[in-house]
Amino acid sequence: MKFAFVTCVQIGLSCMEAIYEIDGNLDLIISIPDEKAKKKSGRIYVDDFASKYNIPVVKSNHINDEIIINTIKEYNIDWLFIIGWSQIASKEVIEAPNLGAIGAHPTLLPVGRGRAAIPWAIIKGLDKTGVSFFKMDEGVDTGLILGQEEIPIGENEISTTLYNKVNLAHEILIKKLYQGLIEGKVEGYTQDETKATYWDGRKPKDGEIFETMKMDEVDRLVRATTKPYPGAFFIKDGKKIIIWKGIKSNSRRSSNIEFEINLEDGYYYGLNYEVLDK
Note the CATH architecture for domain 3-199: 3-Layer(aba) Sandwich (3.40)
Pairing state between β 239-249 and 266-277: antiparallel
The interaxial angle of helices 159-183 and 10-21, nearest 10 deg, is 40
Average pLDDT rounded to a whole number, residues 203-220: 96
Q: Kindly report the number of other CB atoms within 10 A of residue 73's CB atom.
A: 13
pLDDT at 259: 84
Ordered by start, the domain boundaries in the chain are 3-199, 204-277
Contact between residue 80 and residue 63 where contact means Cβ atoms under 8 Å apart: no
Q: Note if the pTM is more than 0.75.
A: yes
Identify the CATH assignment for 204-277 out of 3.30.70.100, 2.40.100.10, 3.90.1300.10, 3.10.25.10: 3.10.25.10
Is the pLDDT higher at 42 or at 14?
14
Q: Give the 3-state secondary structure of residue 148.
A: strand
Between CA 4 and CA 167 the distance in angstroms is 19
pLDDT at 254 over 80: no
pLDDT tens-digit readout, 62-99:
999 999 999 999 999 999 999 988 888 999 999 999 99
Grade residue 110 by pLDDT with cuts at 50, 70 and 90: very high
pLDDT at 68: 96
Between CA 275 and CA 46 the distance in angstroms is 34
Contact between residue 92 and residue 69 where contact means Cβ atoms under 8 Å apart: yes
pLDDT at 194 over 80: yes
Q: Give the 3-state secondary structure of residue 131.
A: strand
Grade residue 174 by pLDDT with cuts at 50, 70 and 90: very high
Between CA 126 and CA 115 the distance in angstroms is 16
Residue 16 one-letter amino acid: M
**Helix ranges, 136-192 (H):** 159-183
Cβ-Cβ contacts under 8 Å for 273 (sequence gap 6 or more): 241, 242, 243, 244, 245, 246, 259
pLDDT tens-digit readout, 121-155:
999 999 999 999 999 998 989 999 999 999 999 99
pLDDT at 86: 83
Grade residue 257 by pLDDT with cuts at 50, 70 and 90: low
pLDDT tens-digit readout, 30-52:
999 999 877 777 788 999 999 99
